[in-house]
Structure 1
Amino acid sequence: MKYPEIMNIQKYSIHDGDGIRTTVFFKGCHLKCWWCHNPESQKFKPQLMFHAERCGGCHACEQICSHHAVTVRDGIACTDRTKCELCRECLDYCVNNAREIVGREYTIPELMKEIEKDCMFYEESGGGVTISGGEVMAQDMDYIEQLLKKLKRKGYNVAIDTCGYAPRENYERVMPYADTFLYDIKTMDPVKHEKYMGKDNELILSNLRFLSEHGARIYIRIPVIGGVNDTEEEMEAIIAFLKQYVSVSQVNLLPYHNIAGGKYDKLDIKYQGEAFTIPPKEQMEEFRKQFIRNGFSNTKIGG
C-alpha cells in the first residue's frame, strides 16, 4: 500500500498552534509560492537534497551508483536527476552525509508511535499535534482521516495547517476532528495570487468561508512579503473580507525571511524570492495595529 510522503516530524514546536506541539509535515502542495521557505515540500514524491558544502569529492557515490547518475566535477559530486532513481544506494557510502533523500512513508501506527513520545508535553502546555505540509489537505484523505481519528481517541488537541487549496469535501471530512485550522491568506488579488502562487484564490476563499460558516476555530496566518502584499491597502482588503465572512480567533502576521535560498540550490531549483524584501519591524507593528483597530484584538507578529 502506498502512503503519503512525510518530510519531517518536528518536536517541541511552538509556532504551529497553541502550546508545545509535534508538527507532522506532509510532502506535496498544489501551490508554488515564489518565496516558499520549504521548497522540498512542494512535490508529492521523495527528492534528493545535495549539500555541496559537505562533499569531499571522494568519488564513492559516483562509483556505487548503478544508474550512472553521479559524476564528480571539480571536486563536487553532480547528479543527473533525470537518471537518479532515488534508490538510496549512494547514501550509505557518503561519509560526509552530503546526500539526503527528503520524504519517507509512515504507516499510521509508525507515525502514532513518534507522536506519542511527547504526549506529556502536550498535556502540560496545552499543546498537541499539528498536521502541516506541503498541503495536508491535498493528501490521501483516507489516510488523513484515519490519522485524525486516532489522534482524537488519544485526546490530543489537533490543528490543521492549510493553504486552503484543496477540494471542499476534504475539509468536510476533517472538520469533526480538528480543534483549530491555521489558514493562510496571501493576497485578495486573484491575478497577483495566480502570478506568485500558481493558482488564483477563489477556491481558497470559498473554503475559508465554508469553515467559518460551520463553526471552525480559525487562526488566520498572513505571510507579509515585501514587494507583494506589504501595503496598508493589501491588509485592508484582507481585513474587509475577514470582517464580512470569517469568524477569526487569532491573526498571525508572518514577516518574510530569505534564509531558504540555499535549499533551492540543494534541490537544483531556481529560487524566485530574491526580489522580495524583508518588511521592517516598524512596518509589521503598523500592520498589527491596523488589524487591532478593525476588531482583531488577538493579532500577533510571528507564529
Structure 2
Amino acid sequence: MDGIIFDIKRFAVHDGPGIRTTVFLKGCPLNCQWCHNPESIAPKPVYAPRTVHLNGHQFTENEQVGYTVSPNQLLAELQKEQIFMEESGGGVTFSGGEPLLQGPFLNKMLRLCQSHGMHTALDTSLFSSWKMIQKVAKATDLFLIDLKLMDDQRHQKYTGVSNQSVLENIQQLAALKKSFSIRIPIIPGVSTTPENIEASIAFLQSLQQPPASVDLLPFHNTAKAKYARFQMENPFGNQPSLKREASSEIKQQFEKAGFAVTIGA
C-alpha cells in the first residue's frame, strides 16, 4: 500500500511536542480559500514551472510536485531523525492536504511509527468517515484538529464542504478520551466574527473531554507565490499577513473560558 506525499519537513517545532518530522500527504477534499498549501489539494502529482537563476542565466523547467513512496521507504527516511525525536520528546506528524484521504496508507504508517518507538501526531480537519478515524486513532498519540468555522453555510462557502461530520467526529473523538488540540485559523472577516468565536467556545466547552490546547493560527500570505506558480485562483491574495498581536483579544476570550491557548501553534 503505497502513498503519495509532496514534502517532508525535518526538525519541525510547530507540529506537536518536541522536534518532529512532518510528512505532507497529497490530496484534500476541502478547498479552503486561505489554504497555505495549495499544491496539496490535487490527490495526484502535479507539474509546475520552476525558474532558477544561475550565473546570469535563467533556467525554467517543469517540476513534479508529489511522488509515490512505500511505507518502508518512508519509515527509513523518518528513522534518520529518530535520535532527535527521542532526545526532545518529539516524533512524527502526518499533515497535508488531508492525510485521512489516504486512510489505508496513513494507518499503515502510524502503526509502523509506533512499533518503532515514535510518537505520532495527525494534523487533520477530521473530514472523513468515523470508521476510518477510529482505525487511525488506535495508533495516533495526538490529534491536531482544524476547527475552521462553526456556521455550516459559511463553512461550505469558504471550504467547499459541510462541517456537520467534522463537528460530530470531534465530539466522538473527545468521547474516546484521545489527546487532541484544536487549531483555529484566524482569517480576517471570516473566522474572527464574534458569532464564530462564541460558537467555537461553546462547542469546545460541550465536549466530554476538553482539548489539551487551543492553537490560534493567524492568517499569513506566504503562499502567494505558490498560487501564481500553480496558476490557481487566490481569493485572499491581497490580504496582508496578520501579526500575532491581532489575535490577542481572541486569545483572551478562550483563556477566560478556561482553555490553554497558544498563538501560531
Match of 1:34? Answer: 33
Say whether residues 1:178 and 2:140 are aligned partners: yes
Contact 1:230 1:279 in 2 (8 A): no
The answer for unaligned runs of 5 or more in structure 1 is 59-94
Question: Is 1:218 the equivalent of 2:180?
Answer: yes
- Please list every run of 5 or more consecutive structure 2 residues that lacks an aligned counterpart in the other structure: none
SS at match of 2:162: coil
Structure-2 change in CA distance of 1:102 and 1:253 (3 Å): same
Higher strand share: 2
Provide TM-score, normalisation by structure 1: 0.82
Q: Residue in 1 aligned with 2:73?
A: 110
Tell whether the 8 Å contact from 2:5 to 2:66 is kept in structure 1 after alignment: yes
> After the TM superposition, which parts of structure 1 deviate over 2 Å for at least 4 consecutive aligned residues?
51-56, 95-99, 274-283
Alignment of 1:173-252 (within 5 A): 173-245=135-207, 246-252=209-215
Report the identity percentage.
Answer: 38
Q: Deviations over 1:61-91 (max 9, x none)?
A: xxxxxxxxxxxxxxxxxxxxxxxxxxxxxxx
Number of residue pairs matched by the alignment: 263
Higher mean Cα deviation, 151-160 or 44-53?
44-53
Partners in 2 of 1:136 and 1:54 — Cα distance? 34
Task: Measure the CA separation in 2 of the matches of 1:154 and 1:53.
Answer: 39
TM-score in terms of structure 2 length: 0.94
Q: CA deviation at 1:55?
A: 10
What does the per-residue CA deviation read over 1:260-285, in whole Å, with 9 as the maximum and x for residues that have no partner?
11101111111111354544533311
Give the C-alpha shift of residue 229 in structure 1: 1.2
Say if 2:126 and 2:133, in contact at 8 Å, map to a contact too: no
Larger radius of gyration: 1
2:128 counterpart residue number:
166
Q: d(CA) in 2 for partners of 1:24 and 1:123?
A: 18
Paired residue for 1:281?
Answer: 244
Secondary structure, counterpart of 2:182 in structure 1: strand
Please tell me the residue identity of whatever aligns with 2:45.
Answer: P
- Kept in 2: contact 1:253–1:302 (CA 8 A): yes
Note the aligned Cα RMSD (angstroms): 1.9
Query: Quick one: structure 1 residues 299 and 55, their matched pair in 2 at CA, closer, same or farther if it must change by over 3 Å?
Result: same
